[in-house]
């Protein structure tokens, strides 16, 4: 049987798909494009488990994709994917992957895995080297302040901050 989609049905499906991606853009630091599953990509394709277990961040592979809360994450291996799926929140960066210092000052800035810190088994990302150095001057204040501020900006669109 041949199925013909009408324009309104196609428009509705497209709107729903884009709405999920738009929500993820505001809640999580995601890439501008969608993955093969139609969801946005988190951590710019870097394997979140590698941030804890490898000597340096590893690029993930779309072959090993896992979704969490409307965002796809890529992994370097099936084992890393399984580790993530056993406890996703233990491996995801704080503040949806936005820069922790940015959150501290009330902004949602890109988080870059090259400028990262793990404190109390939590991953924090930073936008660049200069901001990372600023954070290192008083880690505790920045982390505490960012956690306090996150509740206020978590659901606020990036463009409204």
The answer to pTM > 0.85 is no
Name the one residue in this structure whose structure tokens are 């991606």. Answer: 21
Look at residue 37 in the predicted model and tell me its pLDDT. 87
Q: Which of 25-29, 143-147, 155-159 has the highest mean pLDDT?
A: 143-147
Break the chain into its structural domains and give their ranges. Answer: 30-90, 95-153
**94: which residues sit within 8 A by CB, 6+ positions away?**
100, 122, 123, 124, 125, 146, 147, 150
The pLDDT tens digits of the residues spanning 56-72 come to 999 999 999 999 999 99
The pLDDT tens digits of the residues spanning 71-104 come to 999 999 999 999 999 999 999 999 999 999 999 9
Is residue 131's pLDDT more than 60? yes
């Amino acid at each position: 049987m041949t199925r013909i989609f009408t324009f309104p049905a196609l428009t509705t499906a497209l709107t729903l798909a884009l709405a999920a991606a738009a929500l993820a853009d505001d809640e999580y630091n995601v890439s501008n494009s969608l993955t093969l599953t139609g969801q946005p990509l988190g951590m710019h394709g870097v394997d979140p488990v590698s941030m804890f277990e490898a000597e340096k961040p590893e690029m993930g592979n779309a072959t090993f994709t896992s979704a969490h809360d409307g965002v796809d994450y890529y992994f370097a291996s099936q084992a890393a994917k399984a580790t993530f799926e056993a406890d996703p929140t233990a491996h995801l960066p704080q503040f949806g992957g936005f820069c922790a210092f940015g959150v501290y000052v009330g902004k949602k800035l890109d988080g870059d895995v090259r400028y990262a810190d793990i404190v109390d088994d939590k991953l924090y990302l930073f936008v660049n080297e200069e901001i990372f150095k600023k954070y290192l001057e008083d880690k505790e204040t920045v982390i505490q302040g960012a956690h306090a501020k996150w509740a206020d900006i978590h659901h606020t669109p990036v463009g409204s901050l």
